[in-house]
Chains A and B, each alone.
Chain A
Amino acid sequence: MKRKTGRFRALVELGAGAGCCWLALSLSQVAAASAPQHTPIDPGKPLVLGPVHDNDDALASAAAPVANYALRARLNELDHSLDGSGTLQFKNTSRVPVSELYFHLYLNAFKNEKSLFLRSPFVSSRDEGQLREWGYIDVTEMRVAEFGNQDVWPQADRHSPGDPDDETDIRVPLPQSVAPGATLNLSFKFRAKLPPILARTGHAEGFHMVAQWYPKLARLEPDGRFAHFAFHPHSEFYADFGRYDVQLDVASDLIVGATGKLTKSEARDGRTRLHYRADNVHDFAWCAWAQFHTQTRQIDGTRVTLLFPPGHDHNANVTFSVLSGALPNMSRRFGRYPHETLTVVHTPDFAPAAGGMEYPALITTGGQWWSAYTGVRLVESLTVHELGHQWFQGLVASDESKYPFLDEGLTSYVEQSTLEDLYGAASFARILDFSLTGNALRRAVAARVAHDDLVAQPASSFSSFSSIGGLVYSRTATILETLARVYGRDRLDRALGRYARAHRFGHPTPSDLLDALESVLGESARQFAKGAFFERGFIDFVAELPESVPVRKPAGRFGAGTAAETIAPDVAADAKRSSRVIIRRHGTLVLPVDVELVFADGRRTRRTWDGAAPWTSIDVVDAEPVVAVIVDPNHRVLLDQNLFNNAKSVTPRMPWRALSKLGYWSSIAFSLVAP
């Protein structure tokens, strides 16, 4: 999902104990093991994170198919509806018999203003605005072949569990239990109506973004529970892997982009039937618009198709340019991109709410036609972010509703680190001679929300979408960037690479991420990450004013009797001076840090402090006094709450340069306004 910053409100603070409980809960979850090719998931087998996952040699090439769909849909362009039908082959991969199914009917979030998604005027998704036209999905039948083709939909609950007003999370009881390892074949029919574009899906001026459009089976966890949830404005999705065979029937003038590979296209009577196939995915999205321009290029062995509005040719070039760097970059770091195709949709200017979203093998970007001319890398960062999701949720399919930081946070780090690989310090913008890195912005946002709430918590527990933007996106990225700078970027990449490769086509939890970090960076990194993600941990290094005195002989009477010697106070030992510097570490997180001492003659020396204690003092005897101290001079601890209290000088320096610039530009501005 698109990164979102700004608008920070007061938050509901959860107690530190909540973090511990959350950790305990997540640790108790059995890790869904990643599967070697065509091997069923063995939920009870602990995963060994080791060097075997440092490269692609042992990479799983396919997911264990749990939910295979065959879908047919006809798009009614005039009323923006879909007539659909399909089959679902579901395999019980859990350890226990399953007696009910849960289906997500996401489009019902837009059915009326009593839905969980729409009912609170104070809780919004990334898009503001009021719906004037409703979206919904009506399932008309659902038959199960194994139960004599019996229609089980009439017995389905009418609303989400515990919520009589919401219809996005529907339980379907089965006539009989399905044994572990057994397969069910369901067939269903539905009619879906798209809303005006809102929260990733809908229509606008002939453009259709069709996502979460079919009855989608909730993810079956190894213990036999379905990970189902009502569609909350802050939440995204979670599903099992499978194979998708999709036939779309659309007006022939429409240009269509979709998850997967187009295998067949038939045009007849002004309509076109398109047949797509996608393996090893957990969702299928598509879009259609008559005015799309398309370009296709081969990048790193993947056929990339870009759909973009007329007039956006420069954006198209920029998109391909950044993809040609980012796709191989991520494949190298997190395991090769597995799909034959990647569809990139630059949404029309009038449908920004459809932009900045990820689906397997399909991403949407956005921006005005002039965006790429401004010097701000909005198109690039959006493209790289959504591409990053191909790994962190597309392949490493964590629960986006329960642990949004696992996909959005990791992807934000991947986005930023990739952009720095490609553009250096100008990773966010280069305007004339001024360059701005995305890390500077993310760090500032992360510091601002540091005490607001937990990072690792369900999407629905955040007080606002802005809070998610700050904590899940920016703070997670800053935590990981801090680990990269303190422990080494290569090492962090190796840890994340192990996580991504080991859990490819799997459904890892936060403890799996911590395991991966520990396996490469060590126990201290695990503790740091745990505190930062689960316990609202923070860190702030503070330097105190250096003190310096002449080195004196200790005064007093020494010895006894005739041998006693009395030394008077203030007797200089030599010409040297003794200096003391005190550094404090505020906060609960512990990291080692460099401390730079500046002597009066300009010399500098560095020490490393392990940061374990709340404070430390550094004593130096030298011919010159220490006149200034800088903690973390290279900004390794990006999570540091305040960078300006890291330095202290005996003689403060007036910031003349900054004042001159301010004075200059205020004079110029004044000249323009004043007569």
Chain B
Amino acid sequence: MTRFPTLRWVLGRWDALTLAAAMRAALALAVGLPAMTALLSTGIADHPDGDHLLFDSGGMMLVEGVRLSLTAAPPVTKLTLLLAAGCVLLSLYPVSVMLVALEDRDGRLGEALGRGLRRLPALFAIYGLCLLFQVMVFVAAAFAAAWAPQQLAQTLGPALADAVGVLLLLFGVAINCASGVARDLAFAAASRRPAALPALLLGIGTLLARPLSVGVDWARLAAWQWVLVLGAAYCAGRFPAAPGWTLPLAAVTVSVLVGITTLRGVWAARCLVHASAAQPAAALQPAATMA
């Protein structure tokens, strides 16, 4: 391995990567489907000027489209949330497959699919516990962020008081990010140790044992992800609102999805490295015997 060893490692399992990207795209599309249907039901397709009218300066047709879709909004929202919940759970499968495939560099995709499926219960449990913790943190942070500015407004002034509120909220976000990192490390550990609780403890232990290197890895990949997302949005926003630009827009969308999945793959690989490094070798059973 020379430069970018992890990236090479991940790209070496292009089959699992492609599968993960396709599954994520399909799941994301499924989540967006109700909203897309509502959009089509407005009748925008009948306008000879096309749907770029929706993005005209002033937002006249966009607001009208939203208004006409409002009657469908409650069922669409409910359906979207339901789909999102289901798809989020389903999205654990490509994560599991990716982890198994990365660990078994020379294995076949078919094997990874099977082993990934068997790891799913542990991943569900880890994800559920982590989500519960994150919701509790979010509620506490939101409450504190709303309460503190009211108490401090007279003493500090409205701007500083609100800044305190924002800081509290950011603190909550930071805790949730850290718990997300611990969760991902636990996922990595679970690819070898199928019991959820030990894997979760291993994940937390890994984060506590190597906070700096894990944090740097996560921050670097998260930053790249945001650069990708916002950069693509910025570029796509500059595409002329003309029918001929639809294909380039779709190309950008697909590229971003593939890019994000690759970054996720790199992060999964780094998690495997950290989980292995943080734990004594004896603590981790050989992957082959776990199946």
Q: A436-B58, A656-B243 are in contact. List 6 more A-B contacts (CB 8 A).
A: A444-B67, A628-B48, A644-B44, A655-B50, A657-B52, A664-B232
Residues of A within 8 A of B63 (CB): 436, 440-441, 443-444
Q: What CA separation (Å) do A311 and B159 show in the bound complex?
A: 6
Question: Does residue A605 face the partner (Cβ distance < 8 Å to B)?
Answer: no
With most chain B CB atoms within 10 A of its CB, the pick from A205, A628, A642, A670 is A670
Question: Does residue A132 face the partner (Cβ distance < 8 Å to B)?
Answer: no
A205's nearest neighbour on chain B, judged by CB, is B154
1/0 per residue, CB under 8 A from B, across A637-675: the answer is 000001111011100111111111111111111110111
A311 B253 Cβ-Cβ under 8 A: no
Residues of B within 8 A of A311 (CB): 157-160
Q: What CA separation (Å) do A127 and B256 show in the bound complex?
A: 46
Chain B 20-68 interface residues, beta-carbon cutoff 8 Å to A: 24-25, 27-29, 31-32, 35-36, 39-40, 42-52, 54-55, 57-68
B45 A635 Cβ-Cβ under 8 A: no
A349's nearest neighbour on chain B, judged by CB, is B158
Q: What CA separation (Å) do A559 and B57 show in the bound complex?
A: 61
With most chain A CB atoms within 10 A of its CB, the pick from B57, B59, B237 is B59
Question: Does residue A122 face the partner (Cβ distance < 8 Å to B)?
Answer: no
Question: Does residue A281 face the partner (Cβ distance < 8 Å to B)?
Answer: no
Q: What CA separation (Å) do A668 and B25 show in the bound complex?
A: 10
Q: What CA separation (Å) do A464 and B35 show in the bound complex?
A: 31
Chain A 429-478 interface residues, beta-carbon cutoff 8 Å to B: 432-437, 439-441, 443-444, 447-448
1/0 per residue, CB under 8 A from A, across B179-217: the answer is 010011001000000000000000000000000000000
Q: What CA separation (Å) do A425 and B159 show in the bound complex?
A: 30
Interface of B is mostly: helix
Question: Does residue A630 face the partner (Cβ distance < 8 Å to B)?
Answer: yes
B131's nearest neighbour on chain A, judged by CB, is A675
Question: Does residue A309 face the partner (Cβ distance < 8 Å to B)?
Answer: yes
B45 A666 Cβ-Cβ under 8 A: no
B6-14, B88-96, B102-110, B137-145: which lies at the interface = B88-96
Which 4 residue pairs of A and B lie closest in terms of their CB atoms, listed nearest first?
Answer: A666-B32, A655-B51, A628-B48, A425-B58
A657 B159 Cβ-Cβ under 8 A: no
Question: Does residue A50 face the partner (Cβ distance < 8 Å to B)?
Answer: no
Query: B48, B236, B250, B256: which contacts A649 (Cβ < 8 A)?
Result: B48
- Chain B min CB distance to A386 (Å): 22
Query: B55, B61, B183, B257: which contacts A675 (Cβ < 8 A)?
Result: B183
Query: B27, B44, B67, B87: which contacts A658 (Cβ < 8 A)?
Result: B44
A660's nearest neighbour on chain B, judged by CB, is B249
Question: Does residue A327 face the partner (Cβ distance < 8 Å to B)?
Answer: no
Query: A349, A443, A643, A665: which contacts B153 (Cβ < 8 A)?
Result: A349
Residues of B within 8 A of A369 (CB): 158-159, 162
B127's nearest neighbour on chain A, judged by CB, is A675
B180's nearest neighbour on chain A, judged by CB, is A675
Chain B residues with CB under 8 Å of chain A are 24-25, 27-29, 31-32, 35-36, 39-40, 42-52, 54-55, 57-68, 84, 87-88, 91-92, 95, 127, 153-154, 157-160, 162, 180, 183-184, 187, 225, 229, 232-233, 236-237, 241, 243, 245-246, 249-250, 252-253, 256-257, 260
Residues of B within 8 A of A180 (CB): none
B257 A667 Cβ-Cβ under 8 A: yes
Tell whether A643 pairs with B61 under 8 Å between CB atoms, given A652-B46, A662-B32, A666-B31.
yes
Q: What CA separation (Å) do A87 and B9 show in the bound complex?
A: 91
Q: What CA separation (Å) do A648 and B48 show in the bound complex?
A: 7
Q: What CA separation (Å) do A314 and B215 show in the bound complex?
A: 38
Residues of A within 8 A of B (CB-CB), count: 60
Residues of A within 8 A of B31 (CB): 666, 669-670
Residues of B within 8 A of A5 (CB): none
B40 A657 Cβ-Cβ under 8 A: no
Chain A 297-335 interface residues, beta-carbon cutoff 8 Å to B: 309-312
- Chain B min CB distance to A197 (Å): 16
Tell whether A440 pairs with B59 under 8 Å between CB atoms, given A369-B162, A644-B68.
yes
1/0 per residue, CB under 8 A from B, across A60-91: the answer is 00000000000000000000000000000000
B43's nearest neighbour on chain A, judged by CB, is A644
Q: What CA separation (Å) do A647 and B48 show in the bound complex?
A: 7
Question: Does residue A627 face the partner (Cβ distance < 8 Å to B)?
Answer: yes
- Chain B min CB distance to A86 (Å): 35
Question: Does residue A598 face the partner (Cβ distance < 8 Å to B)?
Answer: yes
A-B pairs with CB below 8 Å: how many?
189
Query: A435, A440, A652: which contacts B64 (Cβ < 8 A)?
Result: A440
- Chain B min CB distance to A23 (Å): 30
A443 B60 Cβ-Cβ under 8 A: yes
Chain A residues with CB under 8 Å of chain B are 205, 309-312, 349-350, 368-370, 425-426, 432-437, 439-441, 443-444, 447-448, 598, 627-628, 630, 635, 642-645, 647-649, 652-671, 673-675
B50 A653 Cβ-Cβ under 8 A: yes
A658 B39 Cβ-Cβ under 8 A: yes
B40 A655 Cβ-Cβ under 8 A: yes
B63's nearest neighbour on chain A, judged by CB, is A440
Tell whether A675 pairs with B184 under 8 Å between CB atoms, given A309-B158, A662-B32.
yes
Q: What CA separation (Å) do A598 and B61 show in the bound complex?
A: 20
A370 B162 Cβ-Cβ under 8 A: yes
Residues of A within 8 A of B61 (CB): 643-644
Tell whether A653 pairs with B162 under 8 Å between CB atoms, given A441-B63, A662-B39, A666-B28.
no
Q: What CA separation (Å) do A642 and B68 show in the bound complex?
A: 8
- Chain B min CB distance to A104 (Å): 35
Q: What CA separation (Å) do A578 and B28 show in the bound complex?
A: 47
- Chain A min CB distance to B102 (Å): 15
Residues of B within 8 A of A310 (CB): 157-158
Tell whether A435 pairs with B229 under 8 Å between CB atoms, given A643-B64, A675-B127.
no
Residues of B within 8 A of A671 (CB): 24, 28, 225, 229, 260
- Chain B min CB distance to A661 (Å): 8
B229's nearest neighbour on chain A, judged by CB, is A668
Q: What CA separation (Å) do A656 and B61 show in the bound complex?
A: 16
Q: What CA separation (Å) do A320 and B158 show in the bound complex?
A: 21
Residues of B within 8 A of A444 (CB): 63-64, 66-67
A658 B54 Cβ-Cβ under 8 A: yes
Residues of A within 8 A of B256 (CB): 664, 667-668
Q: What CA separation (Å) do A673 and B48 show in the bound complex?
A: 37
A598's nearest neighbour on chain B, judged by CB, is B48
Tell whether A653 pairs with B184 under 8 Å between CB atoms, given A440-B60, A664-B236.
no
B36 A659 Cβ-Cβ under 8 A: yes
Query: A439, A653, A665: which contacts B60 (Cβ < 8 A)?
Result: A439
Residues of B within 8 A of A660 (CB): 246, 249-250, 253
B59 A657 Cβ-Cβ under 8 A: no
13 intermolecular pairs with C-beta atoms under 8 Å apart: A447-B67, A627-B48, A653-B51, A660-B253, A663-B36, A664-B233, A664-B253, A666-B29, A667-B24, A669-B31, A670-B24, A674-B24, A675-B92
- Chain A min CB distance to B183 (Å): 7
Q: What CA separation (Å) do A447 and B61 show in the bound complex?
A: 13
